[in-house]
Amino acid sequence: MARLLPTFMYLFYVPRFDGGDYLLPEEESRHCVKVLRLAAGDCLSITDGRGGLFLCRVVRADAKRCEITCVERTKGDDRRAFGLHVAVAPTKNIERFEWFLEKCTEVGIDEVTPLLCDRSERRIIHPDRLEKIIVAAMKQSLKTYLPALHPLTPVREFLRRPRESSGFIAHCGEGERQPLHRLYSPGRDAVILIGPEGDFSPDEIRLAADNGFLPVSLGQSRLRTETAGIVACHTIHLVNAMER
Amino acid sequence: MARLLPTFMYLFYVPRFDGGDYLLPEEESRHCVKVLRLAAGDCLSITDGRGGLFLCRVVRADAKRCEITCVERTKGDDRRAFGLHVAVAPTKNIERFEWFLEKCTEVGIDEVTPLLCDRSERRIIHPDRLEKIIVAAMKQSLKTYLPALHPLTPVREFLRRPRESSGFIAHCGEGERQPLHRLYSPGRDAVILIGPEGDFSPDEIRLAADNGFLPVSLGQSRLRTETAGIVACHTIHLVNAMER
């Protein structure tokens, strides 16, 4: 990776890219030639969002149809030993949820599922816009794995799905809760549920328990939904980092 | 604290409040009477931002001059066993810095010092607006200690100040760095430096080392300034929580 770093500053995302010659789409061509001012012979990197990292050269610096060719295929270094999935109710103010998506992509996450809960104030999202934010954050933080953004899912449907990962639900309701960092075992895949502004309903919390989701706390503070999401995400990273 | 919780939802901030009868300022009076619709006899809580928590009752619900009286003085439960100070270069896009202030207040922090660095793109801040954001986050997360926002300070001046806390500098430059969670000792007061978008200059990094600041990393990911700030803040919290 090291030797790629200088050129790696210019990271483009091309789904299903598999090397060879390629014509950048108009928007990327413009960014490449007009914004980054790359000329023929200059280097750039492309990720396919699935861990593939391709060192490429500009063949023809056309602001509408920039021709590039792959000179080396390699892998990103951002593969993790654990899977991390956060299922969270989108906030009433969508900017807070968008911020969460940017930050968890920076810190590192595999899957995000927007949840529809009994007390959700927001019941509609626009996946295209959210997807753009995740892609931008992936490129900006030089990652080669694109987090998956799943469709808005009713929490009861989500809870009933079969899963092999460790399940946790962060809520502020009644009942015993242990800190997430105590219950999570390093190396395990984790899925963490975060509720809406009004928290999960007692019925949702009961159903989560019935489906093996362990109730957890995220520290002493009362956190906003989007803050709880990023704190949960970073907690899993740190517990794993401390094991090494 | 538990018995305060129901009323605690209505937390007001009154600097230097020390109990007794009090006339809420016009803005708070309006919020109390028009927004929260509190009437005579209803309860609300006041914090002085220094750990004091006062259970009060509305005496006269006047939307311009709401009279309240203190019925019980107690202490908040958000005192920590460690001091946490993050010194960070404000971001070019001030919203990112404002977001950091909100989030670190939610997670818990004692002091924030905006730093003026060699590569700072932003060299002016508006403390009043930033102060408002911190106060709102303190109230929203039901804390009773108001984080101190210090004036914009040249990093060299900050580095040379005598201090008793453990000093760390998070940078992406040359040289050996250890993860923050390995170098920080639980219970110790910590001050962590976070650089601007273009990172600290080699000279700043050298000066930090000369003044006993340990170079640290915050994980595998390349993080934006404001993300590094919140990740550093949460790392200190989690290392302390794991000790308990």
- DSSP tag of B50: B
Return the residue matching tokens 């926002």: B149
In a domain, B33, yes or no: yes
- For B220, nearest residue in chain A (alpha carbons): A78
- Give A-chain residues touching B238 at CB under 8 angstroms: 181, 219, 234-235, 238
User: Nearest Cβ partner of A231 from B77, B99, B107?
Assistant: B107
**pTM, whole model, 2 decimals?**
0.94
Check CB contact under 8 Å for A234 and B237: no
In a shared domain, residues A161 and A123 = yes
Same domain, B147 and B104: yes
Best of B180, B216, B221 to mutate (most A CBs within 10 Å, chain A)? B221
Q: Do A238 and B181 touch (CB under 8 A)?
A: yes
Q: What is the distance in angstroms between the Cα of A108 and the nearest Cα belonging to chain B?
A: 7
Shared-domain flag, residues B59 and B123 = no
**Which residues in chain B are contacts of A107 at CB distance < 8 A?**
219, 221, 223, 227, 231
- The bridge status of strand A52-60 relative to strand B11-13 is unpaired
Sign for the pseudo-dihedral over CA of B187, B188, B189, B190:
negative
Read off the pLDDT of residues A5-57 as tens digits, 9 standing for 90 and up.
Answer: 445 578 999 999 999 999 999 999 999 999 999 999 999 999 999 999 999 99
The tens digit of pLDDT for each residue in B47-75 reads 999 999 999 999 999 999 999 999 999 99
Tell me if B85 sits within 8 A of B165, measured CB to CB: yes
Residue finishing a domain among A23, A55, A75: A75
Shortest alpha-carbon distance between residue B104 and chain A (Å): 10
Cβ contact B40:B60 at 8 Å: yes
Residue in A142, A219, A224 nearest the CB of B241: A219
The whole-number pLDDT of residue B229 equals 98
> Cα dihedral sign for A209, A212, A218, A223?
negative
**Do B53 and B97 belong together in one domain?**
no
* CATH classification at residue B209: 3.40.1280.10
Could you tell me the two tokens for A134?
């995740």
Distance from CA of B228 to the nearest CA of A (A): 9
Contact A237/A108 with Cβ under 8 angstroms?
A: yes
pLDDT value at residue B8: 58
B120 has pLDDT over 70: yes
CA distance linking residue B158 with residue B135, whole number of Å: 25
pLDDT band at A232 (very low <50, low <70, confident <90, very high): very high
Query: What pLDDT does residue A8 have?
Result: 58
- Chain B positions touching A238 (Cβ under 8 A) are 181, 219, 234-235, 238
CA within 13 Å, CB half, A137: 25
pLDDT at residue number A150: 98
Tell me how many degrees the CA angle A14-A187-A149 measures, rounded to the nearest 5.
35
Q: Yes or no: say if B182 and B77 are a contact pair by the CB < 8 Å rule.
A: no
Q: Are A194 and A208 in contact (CB under 8 A)?
A: no
Listed in sequence order, the residues at least 6 apart from A101 whose beta carbon sits closer than 8 Å to its beta carbon are A112, A130, A133, A134, A137, A149
B150 interface with A at CB cutoff 8 Å: no
Rg (CA), chain B: 20
In tens, the pLDDT along A7-19 reads 557 899 999 999 9
Both structure tokens of A73: 């295929």
Expressed as residue numbers, the domain containing A52 is 7-75
Q: Is residue A2 part of a domain?
A: no
Q: For B141, which of A77, A107, A223 is closest by C-beta distance?
A: A223
A92 and chain B in contact, CB less than 8 A: no
Query: Is residue B2 a part of any domain in this protein?
Result: no
Do the chains contact at A241 and B103, CB–CB below 8 Å?
Answer: no
B19 and B128 co-located in one domain: no
- In DSSP terms, A88 is beta-bridged to A114, A194
Domain termination residue (choose one: B47, B75, B103): B75
Whether A64 contacts A26, CB under 8 Å: yes
Residue among B106, B224, B237 minimizing CB distance to A227: B106
B242 touches chain A (CB under 8 A): yes
- Shared domain check, A118 and A58: no
Q: Which chain A residue's Cα is nearest to B108?
A: A221
Question: Hey, are the CB atoms on A241 and B179 less than 8 Å from each other?
Answer: yes
- Distance between CA atoms of B134 and B239, rounded to whole angstroms? 24
Which pair of structure tokens corresponds to residue B149? 């926002």
**Residues B137 and B217 both lie in one domain:** yes
3-state secondary structure of A159: helix
Fill in the amino acid letter for B164.
E
Q: Which residue, among B139, B155, B158, has the nearest Cα to B147 in the 3D structure?
A: B139
DSSP-assigned beta bridge partners for residue A55: A45, A72
Rounded CA gap, B112 and B135, in Å? Answer: 13
Structural domain ending residue among the three candidates A42, A75, A108: A75
The upper half-sphere exposure of residue A214, i.e. CA atoms within 13 Å in the direction of its Cβ, equals 17
C-alpha B133/C-alpha B101 separation (Å) is 7
Regarding whether A149 and A113 lie in a shared domain, the answer is yes
Residue B1 lies in a domain: no
With CA atoms as reference, report the closest residue to A186 among A82, A107, A78. A82
**Is residue B129 scored above 80 in pLDDT?**
yes
Domain total for chain B? 2
Are B181 and A234 inside 8 Å of each other by CB? no
